[in-house]
Amino acid sequence: MQSILPEILPANGEDTIGPYYPIPFLDEESEDLTIVHPGLCVEVAGKPIDLSLRLRDSHFNLVDGALIEFWQANTKGILSIPQNFDHPDYDPRFTGFYRQRSNTGHFKVRTIMPGRIELTGSPHQYRAPHITLNIFCDGITRVVTQIFFEDHSENLQDPLLASLETQLAKRLIAKRVGESNQVSAFEIDIVLQGENETPFFDDLQPIAKIK
């Protein structure tokens, strides 16, 4: 007797990790935040950088079927949020937000070097340039972390980095690996668990005041 059950296909990242964003939200255009829109001769302000990220498990193997959301300030340290829309340094061409899915554990994004962010309620005190990551992966709860950039003097004063032991803080620093056509390249490994686990935080916001 012929089975009337539908054929069962292997689950993929879209089925398992959530949140369930429509495929158009993950187009290749979002991998380059320096381009406002194909065909337009306008650019965002700031120095372009290439960021390569590898997502790894406790055995340092690459993790497949993951989705990462990236969120950052513009080159002046201003986030694209409603409270900043009338700020003189707000760049309407730069959203600072992008998401990328990978079945190989490799992520690569072209963006601009974020500026330092003034701490809420603390004039003249700043967060070092950084990018916030929301990581979704099958088998784990959403985890949040921030990555910083090698050679930035502001790293020494950043309250989050200062709150960590030296070895833990180093795991949040993307290393400079070269420069091509005036675009600096950085790379970092994000380890989800195990001996070399990346520090993760509870719903960390770029604009949060860290005590």
Whole-angstrom Cα Rg for the chain: 19
Residue 206 is assigned to a structural domain of this protein: no
Query: CATH number, domain at 161?
Result: 2.60.130.10
Give pLDDT, residue 13. Answer: 53
Query: Residue 73 CB: number of other CB atoms within 10 A?
Result: 28
Residue 207 is assigned to a structural domain of this protein: no
Query: Residue 35 CB: number of other CB atoms within 10 A?
Result: 16
Segment 72-103, tens digit of pLDDT: 999 999 998 888 889 999 998 888 888 888 88
Residue 95 is assigned to a structural domain of this protein: yes
With b meaning 16 or more CB within 10 Å and e meaning fewer, what string describes 108-146? ebbbbbbbbbebeeeeeebbbbbbbbbbbbbeeeebbbb
C-alpha–C-alpha distance, residues 185 and 206, integer Å: 22
Please report the DSSP string for 105-163 in residue order.
Answer: SEEEEEEEPPPPEEPTT-TT-EEPS-EEEEEEETTS--EEEEEEETT-GGGGG-HHHHT
- Identify the bridge partners of residue 100 per DSSP, sorted by sequence position: 68
Residue 202 is assigned to a structural domain of this protein: no
Residue 5 is assigned to a structural domain of this protein: no
The model's pTM: 0.81
Residue 208 is assigned to a structural domain of this protein: no
C-alpha–C-alpha distance, residues 177 and 59, integer Å: 24
Residue 138 is assigned to a structural domain of this protein: yes
- Could you give the maximum distance between any two Cα atoms of the chain, in Å? 76
| Position with higher pLDDT, 38 vs 35 | 35
Residue 29 is assigned to a structural domain of this protein: yes
> How many distinct structural domains can be found in the chain?
1
* Residue 51 reports pLDDT greater than 50: yes
Q: Please name the residue that has the structure tokens 């009337």.
A: 4
Task: Find the domain containing 69 and state its range.
Answer: 13-191
Pair 21, 157: CB distance under 8 Å:
no
| Position with higher pLDDT, 153 vs 208 | 153
